[in-house]
Amino acid sequence: MISKIFIIGKDGGLCYSKSFFGSGKKNTEIINFLTSINHIGKNVGLGEIKSLHFTNLNIIYSYDDYNYMYIMASDIDDPEEEIRNKLELVKNEFNNLYHDQLEKWNGKIKQFRDFDRFTESHILIPPKILLAGEDGVGKSTIMDLFPGETILELDDDMNEIIQKKINLHNLEGVTEFILREVNLQDLISYSKIYKTLLDSADIICLVTNSGAGNLSRTKQLFYELKKKANRADFYIIANFQDLVNTSFEPDKISESFGITTFGFSAVQADAKDIIYKIISSILKTSIIDKIEEKFNHFV
């Protein structure tokens, strides 16, 4: 997942920056570090830096004919070639749009602000959340609580993917995400077929009906799935909490599975507001907080 883009002028001044997730509070320190280490490398005769690899972070560099520096930060698991292709796309488009200004840049960044339109439409990859559960646990009902058209698409392996792109307005740092739905048993039984779906998921929400039988089966499937999807963060949405005589409390489920569990009832009048709060909390923990932590340790 690409998290940041920086474009640095030939004099070291910042032309453009974009933080897709998180606050960007550490951007000044990050830029100072990235430009300084590149400057040191050239001064000691090592040439320009092409990339830096940290424990949880990749930093990819590129340069243009105006001696501007283009930098992109992404997750360590992202293939470097794919990220570099994205960075070259940014560089080429920035040069095409602003070539007249780049040679005699006056240090003002306002003229580059409309570049957000390009990066948000061509570079931003929204987080992907996978709703996985057995039939009848409420996956489709949860999908229907979010506005917009449910789209049936084909992934790289030609599997049908049920998904929605959903806009968020109440969470600083994430403006949209992709919600996908799949049968949990199919995900296990045909994991090779669903490999692309699993590999692309940032978060997997196991949907249960909170009853003993479904929880027992889900727990067994969870242990199998975790071996095949070790990149994603797992959560549980314990549906049917309104059935007080048969449903287990979220704390008990969380203790049994060892993962965070959110209680839910799709028949509640405020179910839509509650599911938005649940998804926002998940995104904050697994996307925003993780990225902020990476860069807090980085500088």
For the chain, give the percent of residues with pLDDT over 90.
60
And the tokens for 116? 């957000």
**Of 124, 147, 177, which residue sits at a domain end?**
124
The pLDDT of residue 299 is: 59
The pLDDT of residue 281 is: 97
9-34 pLDDT tens trace: 988 889 999 999 877 778 888 888 88
Contacts (Cβ under 8 Å, ≥6 apart) of 192:
none
Mean pLDDT, all residues of the chain:
90
Which CATH number covers residue 94?
A: 3.30.450.70
Do 21 and 147 fall into the same domain? no
Do 275 and 133 fall into the same domain? yes
Residue type, 140: S
* Residue 39 falls inside a structural domain: yes
| Residue in the structure block whose two tokens are 């990050």 | 30
Which CATH number covers residue 283?
A: 3.40.50.300
Do 115 and 160 fall into the same domain? no
**Of 109, 124, 139, which residue sits at a domain end?**
124
Do 8 and 34 fall into the same domain? yes
The pLDDT of residue 62 is: 95
Do 182 and 254 fall into the same domain? yes
271-282 pLDDT tens trace: 999 999 999 999
Could you give the number of structural domains in the chain? 2
The pLDDT of residue 239 is: 96
Do 82 and 210 fall into the same domain? no
* Residue 110 falls inside a structural domain: yes
**Of 87, 105, 124, which residue sits at a domain end?**
124
* Residue 87 falls inside a structural domain: yes
Do 135 and 219 fall into the same domain? yes
Q: Is the dihedral of CA 71, 75, 80, 81 positive or negative?
A: negative
172-199 pLDDT tens trace: 889 899 999 999 999 999 888 888 889 8
Instruction: Report whether pLDDT(268) > 70.
Output: yes
* Residue 299 falls inside a structural domain: no
* Residue 166 falls inside a structural domain: yes
Range of the domain at 91: 2-124
For the chain, give the percent of residues with pLDDT over 70.
96
* Residue 290 falls inside a structural domain: yes
* Residue 56 falls inside a structural domain: yes
Do 114 and 159 fall into the same domain? no
* Residue 16 falls inside a structural domain: yes
64-107 pLDDT tens trace: 998 899 999 998 888 899 999 999 999 999 999 999 888 888 88
Do 120 and 136 fall into the same domain? no
